[in-house]
Amino acid sequence: MNTQASKKSNVSKWLVDNVIYVVLILLVVGIVVASPDFLSMTNLINILAQSSSRIIIALGVAGILITAGTDLSAGRMVGLAAVISASMLQAGDYAYKMYPNLPDLPLFVPILIAMAATGLIAALNGVIVSKFHVPPFIATLGMMIGVYGLTSIYFDRPPYGAQPIGGLSEKFTTFAQRGIKVGSYEFPYLILYAIIVSIIIWVIWNKTQLGKNMYAIGGNPEAAKVSGVNVARNLIIIYTIAGLLYGLTGTLEAGRVGSATNNTGNMYELDAIAACVVGGVSLSGGIGSVPGVITGVLIFQVINYGLAFLGVSPYIQFIVKGLIIIVAVAFDMRKHAKKK
Amino acid sequence: MNTQASKKSNVSKWLVDNVIYVVLILLVVGIVVASPDFLSMTNLINILAQSSSRIIIALGVAGILITAGTDLSAGRMVGLAAVISASMLQAGDYAYKMYPNLPDLPLFVPILIAMAATGLIAALNGVIVSKFHVPPFIATLGMMIGVYGLTSIYFDRPPYGAQPIGGLSEKFTTFAQRGIKVGSYEFPYLILYAIIVSIIIWVIWNKTQLGKNMYAIGGNPEAAKVSGVNVARNLIIIYTIAGLLYGLTGTLEAGRVGSATNNTGNMYELDAIAACVVGGVSLSGGIGSVPGVITGVLIFQVINYGLAFLGVSPYIQFIVKGLIIIVAVAFDMRKHAKKK
Amino acid sequence: MSEASSTNLLEMLNITKRFPGVIALNNVSLKVKPGSVHALMGENGAGKSTLMKCLFGIYSMDEGKILFDGKEVSFVNSKQALENGVSMVHQELNQVRQQNVMDNLWLGRYPKKGIFIDEKKMYEDTKAIFKSLDINIDPRSKVSTLSVSEMQMVEIAKAVSYGSKIIVMDEPTSSLTENEVNHLFKIIKKLQSDNVAIIYISHKMEEILKISDEVTIMRDGQYIATKTAKELTTDEIIKLMVGRDLSQRFPAKINKPGDMILKVSNLTAETQPSFVDVNFELRKGEILGIAGLVGSKRTEVVESIFGMRALKSGAIELHGKAVNNHSPQHAIKNGFALVTEERRSTGIFPELSISFNSIISNMGQYRKGPFLSDSKVKEDTQWVIDSMKVKTPTQKTSIGSLSGGNQQKVIIGRWLLTKPDILLLDEPTRGIDVGAKFEIYQLINQLAADGKGIIMISSEMPELLGVTDRILVMSNGKAAGIVETSSTSQEEIMRLAALY
Amino acid sequence: SSSTSGSGDSAGSKDSKLPAVGATIYKFDDNFMSYVRRAMENSAKGKVNLMLNDSQNDQAKQIEQVDTLIAKGAKSLAINLVDPKAAQTIIDKAKPKNIPVIFFNKEPDANVLAGYDKAYYVGTTSSESGVIQGELIAKAWEANKAKWDKNGDGKLQYVLLKGEPGHPDAEARTKFAVDTVKEKGIQVEQLAMDTAMWDATKATEKMDAWLAKYSDKIEFVIANNDGMALGAIASLEKAGYFSGDKFMPVVGVDAIPEALEMIEKGKMVGTVLNDAKNQGKATVELATNAAKGKDVLDGTSWKLDDKKAVRVPYVEVTKDNIQVGKDAYK
Ligand SMILES: Nc1ncnc2c1ncn2[C@@H]1O[C@H](COP(=O)(O)OP(=O)(O)OP(=O)(O)O)[C@@H](O)[C@H]1O
Ligand SMILES: Nc1ncnc2c1ncn2[C@@H]1O[C@H](COP(=O)(O)OP(=O)(O)OP(=O)(O)O)[C@@H](O)[C@H]1O
Ligand SMILES: [Mg+2]
Ligand SMILES: [Mg+2]
């Protein structure tokens, strides 16, 4: 009410909102202290590039989390998309092609097919959740198991059986592995894709009716219904958008690694959900922001990359990673510890 | 309030509560139609025995779910307990003993040590959740990663390195693999253990203050707090009990399989959570019953066993399993489809 | 001060409490005598609930001290407060809906036999308490099956059952009907005779002077005055609360009902028991009240009109044309708006901003191509804040941190933005202070004068008599009659309400 | 008195006249095992009713599948263990019912095998793939030392991508590959070793970090399987390797088609082929004989060694003998 109070509130709100950024900075500082040569352009580019496809999947998952849902099938959909797009983008002269007679397709065709497949499955998730009232956890758990079966059937086919789908065409690997040369550095296109997707999602969340409805559904579904929000339709759209993002992620993963198997994407959903929560998305819905999600993913990737870079022994890596996740969120949660 | 209304509500409540039992029966009938020889004592015993350790872990997870929490670290704790108990229960003459000089311990010592370890870790989960206000999803995700690291370090030790811990003493394998002979059948002790644990947990949930508090904390934590319930202490105890159950499960798994690795128990938590939800435990807390959880586990196990028994091809099994989970819960959820 | 403490049971001295961005309590004092009913009055957001939460150990105060029974106390949690003779009926219903009545009543202090809970004792003790308070609820019924007023009575019984020296009642009557209010007053009198002190918070003026011995008034987190009830009148209380004269409780009527716009005929709900065969008409510019006892299905009638519930039969005609509201969405499109009864569960988005809460029903208006126009959103939010006089630091403040009354104002503002033809209001002034009530009545009046049709459910008889043109009285799911407000009486309405 | 129903009525079988053989694969979509599986299916056609199960890398699940197979009336079992130490438990289930067990691909302890007269093993020794990978590394290093020893210190500086920690293959390959190189008298230095969980994506990312940290100090990349080797190659390519004269020796295990392609393109030095066809064939032939109550070697050309094992050797695959690898996929 009075300006002094609101100014104070702004400052404290700023601090509260920025705990996760502080965590990120502290992490980087910590690693740099342990190994000063961590501070290099190459490492920065590597971390950003590795975060890129994770940001895309995390943004999809985040939308669903904001509606108070969850998506355990995200990782398996990434796998499905990876396998589909890789199978259609093998180099013409590759000896072990899945479709030996497939002509050389323009890049966007397999990508769109993969995205359509995952979009459709995700829409089905949305229908199951919103029309049949199956809790999202169960709906997407069932879908996670089912999609894995589907992917495996597609993947494990004669003549070559369960072999990684490799021999990807050069235009595909260029699309996912190369970048823009700036001086002696190459900024991967991947980063660019993540930025574009982030902007689009930011606009949807903040500037469109769909975005407002998404927050409303997560914040109070009953109130949303009374306020005239078509909850089912909006949920289905939000799940579908997530599915499209998984499809894109899957394609990029196949291209980035140069091959795909039915296990590609396994457990990505857990990382994505965790990154969202670390980034301030509330699992009970209604709260979350695009910069938060991006920061969450970066925190995870800095941990992953940093520990490998430091050469920490694998077992210790697990322990340290587990600890950092808990401590970071505990730190962040102090804002909710009701100031009594 | 008026008797007619409450009678009607009783009947409808009975039906609503029993949808899952109907699902279970339908499943069995379906499998029997497909393959009449499914209906045998051997299959029944097999399914019950296979469900036993899953029931124990599921009951631990269910308690936490009822407080509106979750536990992703359950599976990894099972692994830790399995490795600990196996390492202390190797046969005296086994060539690759982890502790070559360890005397022959009475069975209960390693079991108690394993349970103490997981109980302690679970208590830590409880502290992190209740005192530091870290959302259970994140707290236990961090713990899941950390415990895996811990188990691996314990497991991967000189002189033999990361080798499965085998050569278990006969008293241990008897404890977990044998049973009571009745006529030509052998009823595994495992079933007995599961029954005993179920009864204990049923008593705790329904007859003690802790149990009532558990439901209250999950149903409305504010109400519990203002009524003078020490929410933090109760949560810590509930997590600890779950931890003890994971410890027991881990020991039984090691004994049942005859060996243990750091991968034992991987992903058990997901199956346990899913079984709880199928069995009517609400992920938003406050709702759940012991018979429900048991039925949920049995449904899963009948699916698993039944599909394998029918000889359904493995990849198709995934698809069918995913479908059944979704359909069963959709069926069950009709009670919530607000009949307005 | 030391002299005073010998006569007072409770002294809260110079309490200050700050929240991020808000000073909720600024140097507030409160002194309560044993065996007295001490009313705590103030507008929405004055800090009444916050003060009580500081006492009860839910919040810790930043400054000040509390003397209770002669000793300085500072409860760190509710358990301590309860154990030391302070109990509280909370403003928001705090119950575990999945559990039964007696589980809720004994939560935190179950009777035990060894390590097990003594269910039999629990049942009998509950029965005994209910009997002594003349409450007729089965201790074994699930809380979720109770009506809101029954839940409230259970809460009151629970607070009483601690045998405390002081009981705080934060708006205990906001969801009670006349009969139950009288019932509560009887309970309070009985407690008084046992030398129990009551701190009583309410926005219902009639109650305050009826039962209280002393009144403390707060405004904007500040202490204003403490007076004995005898030396006060309603108008004086209002003046102290609002800080200015408020000569009337109800604004002069300026609306002139015109032609019929809404005709409801033979409306029967799909799922019974519910309402049957409800008929009424609503004219342009008319305010139609709906009276009835709790459980008379008033809420279900308006929710059905708004498309939230399925109808078995009946017709709704708007401007002479049949409308079919399958869902709130259709209803909104057809020009209906509904302010629901339960603000917390179906009204607000607690974590989200005032801006968001204002515009959510009216999103179509802000679309510029695929996007939303920020400036228009800002403009409309400001309109809600200004015209509804919402007390808030910014548009971005989350609605959950506002006081209940201010939340309600935002919700009404939300619906006014949709420019409805028919405005359905279900207990629109529940938990709202007199000043704000007056503003809302004025608004309703103005809207009617602008030619809108208004239906307003209320359990407050004076309000219905003061604001409406006609009153439909519901009784047990049936329309018991429609009366002209100008020529009816409280007695006639009560008689109709009890007809079936 | 067995509780299982009489002979020849196993549910869901296409041809209930054939003897039933119950089989478990430790993980259906394992590159190598998918070939073994195909070989098994081919050999079984028309001779035996092969009931295949996917143990999903979970030993507890496999134990349960064995229960199911016995309940379904399997006359013999062909078991690809998840965890080699669990063999005793499986024997404990089969022995009372007098059901023969053919373990394949993952070798149980010799004394366990010796404890049941109807238990046999078909496959290799787990350590052998590591040993052959080590020999391959040593040979290649000696041949190209001049070019590959970038810092000229005579030591082989390597990074190692390990499979899932605790997985018997991961552990054996890690240990024996490096030990074998050392035994050949080559000095080695481990720059980094980390688990990529058999996963190409994780391997790419670990390799990214290592390249950033060690850049041209790395002289050799050893991967526990071809999948991770491919992941490492993707990272190396991004860093400019394999174009111009920038080269990095990479080795894996499995000889998957994609790896053969990489070897041909010169992006990979070599891999180790496990003879899937013969492993699958031998397993089914022994299991079929066992199911019929015949001597397991009856009518076959296989030989048992002193540990009741039929040994099918690993083969190293490099550019020189690439056809051996390709033939495996014919
Ligand atoms: N947890 C909180 N966080 C931030 N601000 C709060 C919190 N609780 C209360 N406030 C603020 O403190 C002030 C006093 O609120 P309080 O609930 O005590 O009012 P009240 O007098 O009880 O009003 P009402 O009659 O509407 O219940 C309000 O401005 C409110 O917004
Ligand atoms: N037994 C019950 N179980 C669940 N909800 C109930 C039950 N009885 C009533 N309700 C809910 O309480 C609300 C009020 O019910 P009802 O329409 O019967 O009362 P009312 O006459 O509108 O009273 P008021 O307007 O004072 O709330 C409705 O939303 C209804 O769904
Ligand atoms: Mg209040
Ligand atoms: Mg060197």
B208 touches chain C (CB under 8 A): yes
Report the pLDDT value the prediction gives residue B10, as an integer from 0 to 100: 66
Nearest residue in C to A286, CA atom: C351
Measured over the CA atoms of residue D11, residue D13, residue D19 and residue D25, the dihedral's sign is negative
Nearest residue in B to C53, CA atom: B226
Report the pLDDT value the prediction gives residue C247, as an integer from 0 to 100: 63
Picking from C360, C372, C401 by the largest number of A CB atoms within 10 A of its own CB, the best residue to mutate is: C360
CA of C465 to the centre of ligand 1 (A): 31
Task: For residues D24-30, give the mean pLDDT.
Answer: 88
- Are C372 and A209 a contacting pair at CB < 8 A? yes
Question: Within chain A, what is the greatest distance between any pair of CA atoms?
Answer: 75
Q: Which chains touch B (3 or more CB pairs under 8 A)?
A: A, C, D
Nearest residue in A to B129, CA atom: A330
Burial degree of D244 (CB within 10 A; 0-12, 13-18, 19+): exposed
Q: How many CB pairs under 8 A join A and C?
A: 99
* Contact criterion met (CB below 8 Å) for A163 and A157: no
Short-list C44, C347, C94, C78, CA closest to C202: C44
Phi-psi region of A28 (alpha: psi -120 to 50; beta: other; left: phi over 0): alpha
* Token pair 């016995």 in the structure block, residue: D70
- Are B326 and A138 a contacting pair at CB < 8 A? yes
CA of D158 to the centre of ligand 4 (A): 9
Report the pLDDT value the prediction gives residue B17, as an integer from 0 to 100: 65
Q: What is the mean pLDDT of chain A?
A: 89
Q: Which chains touch C (3 or more CB pairs under 8 A)?
A: A, B
Q: Which residues have C-beta within 8 Å of that of residue D284, sequence separation ≥ 6? A: D21, D39, D40, D43, D44, D47, D48, D50, D78
- Determine the Cα–Cα distance for residues C372 and A104; give it in Å rounded to an integer: 42
Token representation of residue A64: 């669903």
Q: Which chains touch A (3 or more CB pairs under 8 A)?
A: B, C, D
| Neighbouring C-alpha atoms within 13 Å toward the C-beta of A69 | 39
- Are B220 and C141 a contacting pair at CB < 8 A? no
B12 pLDDT above the threshold of 80? no
C/D touch flag: 3 or more CB pairs below 8 Å: no
Nearest to B146 among A133, A277, A322 (CB): A322
Residue with CA nearest ligand 2 atom 3: C145
- Determine the Cα–Cα distance for residues C243 and C143; give it in Å rounded to an integer: 41
Using 50, 70 and 90 to split pLDDT, how confident is the model at B207? very high
Higher-confidence residue of B285 and A242: namely A242
Task: For residues A228-253, give the mean pLDDT.
Answer: 95
Q: CB count, 10 Å around CB of D153?
A: 11
A325 pLDDT above the threshold of 90? no
Q: Which residues have C-beta within 8 Å of that of residue C317, sequence separation ≥ 6? A: C262, C263, C264, C265, C323
List the pLDDT tens digit at each of the 500 positions of chain C. 344 445 889 999 999 998 766 788 999 999 999 999 999 988 777 889 899 999 999 888 899 999 998 899 989 888 899 999 999 998 877 888 888 899 999 988 898 888 888 989 999 999 999 998 888 899 999 988 888 788 889 999 999 999 899 999 998 887 787 788 888 999 999 999 999 999 999 888 778 888 899 999 998 888 999 999 888 888 888 888 877 666 667 888 787 888 888 888 888 888 777 788 888 888 888 899 998 877 788 888 899 899 888 888 888 888 888 888 888 888 898 889 999 888 878 888 888 888 888 888 888 888 888 888 888 888 888 988 888 888 888 888 888 888 777 888 889 888 988 888 889 999 888 777 777 788 888 888 888 888 888 999 988 888 888 888 899 998 888 888 888 888 888 778 877 877 77
Chain C hits for B199, Cβ within 8 Å: none
Using 50, 70 and 90 to split pLDDT, how confident is the model at B35? confident
- Determine the Cα–Cα distance for residues D121 and D279; give it in Å rounded to an integer: 10
Using 50, 70 and 90 to split pLDDT, how confident is the model at A340? very low
Using 50, 70 and 90 to split pLDDT, how confident is the model at B1? very low
Short-list C12, C7, C2, C4, CA closest to C35: C7
Report the pLDDT value the prediction gives residue D34, as an integer from 0 to 100: 85
Report the pLDDT value the prediction gives residue C393, as an integer from 0 to 100: 83
Report the pLDDT value the prediction gives residue B13, as an integer from 0 to 100: 64
Token representation of residue D74: 């399997």
- Are A222 and C346 a contacting pair at CB < 8 A? yes
- Determine the Cα–Cα distance for residues A139 and C287; give it in Å rounded to an integer: 47
Nearest residue in A to C363, CA atom: A209
DSSP 8-state class, residue C253:
P
Residue with CA nearest ligand 2 atom 25: C299
Torsion from C-alpha of D208, D213, D217, D219, nearest 10 degrees: -30
* Contact criterion met (CB below 8 Å) for C385 and C363: no
Report the pLDDT value the prediction gives residue B296, as an integer from 0 to 100: 93
Is the bond preceding A159 in cis, omega lying within 30 degrees of 0? yes
In the three-class reduction of DSSP (H, G, I as helix; E, B as strand; rest coil), residue C134 is classed as coil
Protein residues with CB under 6 Å of any ligand 1 atom: C 19, 22, 24, 42, 44-50, 91, 401-405, 433
Report the pLDDT value the prediction gives residue A255, as an integer from 0 to 100: 92
- Are A223 and C345 a contacting pair at CB < 8 A? yes
Closest ligand (CA of B222): 1
Which of C100, C148, C175, C299 for a ligand 2 pocket mutation test, highest count of atoms within 8 Å of Cβ?
A: C299
Q: Which of residues 41-80 of C touch B (CB under 8 A)?
A: 56, 58, 77-79
Q: CB count, 10 Å around CB of D75?
A: 24
Chain C hits for A10, Cβ within 8 Å: 21
Tally the residues of chain D.
330
- Residue spans of beta strands (DSSP E) within chain D: 20-25, 49-54, 76-79, 101-104, 119-123, 156-162, 188-195, 220-223, 250-251, 270-274, 309-311, 314-318
Percentage of chain B lying above the pLDDT 90 cut: 54
Closest Cα of chain D to B225: distance in Å?
A: 42
Provide the edge-to-edge strand list for the sheet that holds D101-104: D49-54, D20-25, D76-79, D101-104, D119-123, D309-311
Percentage of chain D lying above the pLDDT 70 cut: 95
B18 pLDDT above the threshold of 70? yes
Q: Which residues have C-beta within 8 Å of that of residue C419, sequence separation ≥ 6? A: none
D5 pLDDT above the threshold of 60? no
* Contact criterion met (CB below 8 Å) for D28 and D82: no
A236 pLDDT above the threshold of 80? yes
